[in-house]
A and B are shown apart, each in its own frame.
Chain A
Amino acid sequence: MLADILQLFIAGLATGGIYALAAIGFTLLWQTSQTINFAQGEFVMLPAFFVLIGMGFFGLPFWAAVLVGAAVSIVVLGLMFKKLMVDPMLHHGVLPLVIATIGLAILMKEAVREFYGADAWPFPPLAAATNVTVFGAAFAVQSLVVLGISIAAVIALQLFLNRTRTGRCMQATAQNPTVARLLGVPVERMILYTFLINAALVALASLLITPIYLAKFTNGELLGLYAFIAAIIGGFNQVRGAIAGGLLLGVLDNFTAVYISTQYRLVVPLLFLIVIILFRPQGLLGRVEERTV
């Protein structure tokens, strides 16, 4: 029994770590540019196909295809997304941009279906499918690797944001862009950096999740939803909130599937979301933001 709980906990943390990577992107973009990207799930789906194209069409080995896929993701999902969609739309307000990203999600999904088909495709895992036994519980090495990489990515991001000059400038941009600009922070460049970081994070999430989900054009639907819920549960305006929300959601999802019902595995996180919105609308680790008119 205890072994089962431990296994579920680790597997949940591993999946939750991936949700956290996507959820961090939500908070980063919101904080710096007031962008809510409802195509975030599709942003996680797409890099895996870049890798498959690298391997299938250009005959690259997996590691080279990963590097190329990550680079293409950063350009397409970071630079081009900002320049071609966010910049022209943002001055129209948050809502038109939200609708535009919903449209983008549909476009990305259908484009993948058109060019790569509706089938699922196998995707190489980053670690061998073996397991290690600790205190009688067998842990999948792949889950441990996924969890380790997610934690490492989150720590690296936190160090970058808190310990580097660029990171602090990005935080200043997030807190108050007008004052940051007055202090000489290149706000536009900082905003661009957040889009590039988001693209790198979704590319990483894609590499970690696709061996489990298999590469399929619909993968973004659930991922986007989970990442969004994770970001709200944790606190939409805090990176550490998104991390906590993602991990919590992953664990909650697994325990619900085993101890309540597989059919209701999405219901419990949604109920949790409603409770959070009702009693702690700023999220578990979020800040209360006052608005004035």
Chain B
Amino acid sequence: MRPSKLVLALATLLLMAGVAEAQVKFAYVGEISGSIAVSGGNFRDGVILAVEELNARGGILKQKIELTLYDTQTNPGVARAQMQKAIDGDPYVVLGPIFSGNVKVTMQMLQQAEIPHFIGGEAAELTSLGDPYLFRTSFGQQIGMPKIANFIRDELKAKTVALIWVNNDFGKGGRDRLIKELTARDIKLTADVSSESGQVDFAADVVKLKAANADVVFVYSNEEECARIMREAKKQGLKGPFVGDTTLLSQKTIELAGDAADGVMGHVGLTADAPLKEVEDFKGKFLKRFNYAPDHNGLKGYSGVYAVKYVTEKLGKLDRKGLAAMMHGLTITPKDEPGILIETSWDNNGEIDRISFLAEVVGGKQKITKILPKIGK
């Protein structure tokens, strides 16, 4: 063989080796646009950051991760179509959706395809539907609401609550769970105001909350709507105190609501302001990469990817069934896998357990006031 032909053959072989380099396929199917694009965008960026970090270190099992993004447009119909597209691409895992309604309409598709999926949805019922491939990246409402109800009773000494909630799977699940917990603690609900996803004008709703004259106003909606409610409440002079779960105290809500968010209190399952070194480092990296501060959804996406990485490397092979089986009853600590950020456990239903926080918004910033232990401790 002449030297030039040898070089050509070698080059072709190298090129083919490059083309044939094995890749682990990850799919993000989430809310890049639509009414909860804020949450979906944050989750997506958390996923992207983790994937970029892992690829810079050689990927998983020495295979690079190929991440494909699918936009559900916060629309269950589109979510099903996009999920089918993702499944057709034969991904190793799916990350998302974040919108509980979209999780609900797509989880069966993933279960049938036997693809593990790490969701951002928080509706209580999602982990009770018998899907062995579903894993949460944040608390379900059945974990968060008892903690909030205790806070309302023990810390705020409230006897009455006026509730405003968003009428979707997330909001309805939270509302039902909260009412159950409040009733168990002998706290009365004086207003039960439902609002719509993507609602922009809350003048009428705030008038209803004002008329209820409750000890506490509980706001349970997505970030943008939470911000609009707080702005309207300030405008109309509704004093609160305002209490909520993670979304009301998220960085995005605070940014959008401005000083109207000051004084808001509540429970946060996950926060980029947690006083933990791993979380602080993550926040710095996220800010540097995307030029905005992450909220809890960024943490959810990021830690979800690292959970997959940890379990896959433990298994030593790309095995979807094996991954799902190993996830059940698993605890990952930051010592085992720094990317998990906070010690996290999953039970046999894919429900998550980790420490959580009580927080208050002070001067436009979320301030952690108390760290609550894991349920299992």
Contacts and interface: CB of A to CB of B under 8 A. Distances in A.
Interface of A: 4, 7-8, 11-12, 14-15, 113, 117-122, 129-131, 138, 140, 142-143, 211-214, 216, 218-219, 222, 253-255, 257-258, 262-263, 265
State the 6 A-B residue pairs at the shortest beta-carbon distance, nearest first. A257-B204, A118-B37, A11-B203, A140-B235, A213-B200, A131-B237
Contact of A120 (B32, B194, B201, B256): B256
Interface in B208-264: 208, 210-211, 224, 227-228, 231-232, 234-237, 252, 255-258, 260
B296 to A, nearest CB: 16
Given A129-B231, A254-B203, A257-B204, A118 B33 contact: yes
B228 A218 contact: no
A11 B204 contact: yes
A262 B195 contact: yes
A15 B236 contact: no
Which of B203, B231, B236 has the most chain A CB atoms closer than 10 A to its own CB?
B203
Nearest to B200: A213
Main secondary structure of the interface of B (DSSP, over half): helix
Interface residues of B, number: 37
A222 B200 CA distance: 9
12 contacts: A8-B207, A11-B236, A118-B34, A119-B252, A122-B227, A122-B256, A140-B236, A143-B235, A212-B200, A218-B198, A257-B205, A262-B205
A22 to B, nearest CB: 14
A120 B256 CA distance: 8
Interface of B: 32-34, 37-38, 41, 167, 193-196, 198-201, 203-205, 207-208, 210-211, 224, 227-228, 231-232, 234-237, 252, 255-258, 260
Given A118-B33, A131-B235, A262-B193, A11 B198 contact: no
Nearest to A122: B256
A213 B256 CA distance: 11
B236 A131 contact: yes
Main secondary structure of the interface of A (DSSP, over half): helix
A212 B236 contact: no
A118 to B, nearest CB: 4
A14 B203 CA distance: 10
A213 B228 contact: yes
A199 to B, nearest CB: 23
B262 to A, nearest CB: 12
A263 B194 contact: yes
Contacts, number: 96
A4 B227 contact: no
A14 B235 CA distance: 13
A214 B236 contact: no
B37 A4 contact: no
Nearest to A133: B237
Contacts of A142: 235
B237 A140 contact: yes
A4 B260 contact: no
Contact of B260 (A12, A129, A258, A263): A129
Given A7-B207, A129-B235, A211-B231, 10 more contacts: A14-B203, A118-B34, A119-B38, A119-B252, A120-B256, A131-B235, A214-B256, A262-B193, A262-B199, A263-B194
Given A122-B258, A140-B237, A143-B235, A258 B207 contact: yes
Contacts of B257: 122
A253 B33 CA distance: 27
A135 B80 CA distance: 54
A219 B200 contact: yes
B37 A129 contact: no
B37 A119 contact: yes
A125 to B, nearest CB: 8
B228 A212 contact: yes
A140 B256 CA distance: 19
Contacts of B205: 257, 262
A265 B205 CA distance: 12
A122 B203 contact: no
Given A4-B207, A15-B203, A120 B198 contact: no
Contact of A262 (B38, B196, B211): B196
Given A258-B204, A262-B193, A212 B198 contact: no
Which of B41, B195, B224, B237 has the most chain A CB atoms closer than 10 A to its own CB?
B237
B271 to A, nearest CB: 19
Which of B208, B252, B260 has the most chain A CB atoms closer than 10 A to its own CB?
B208
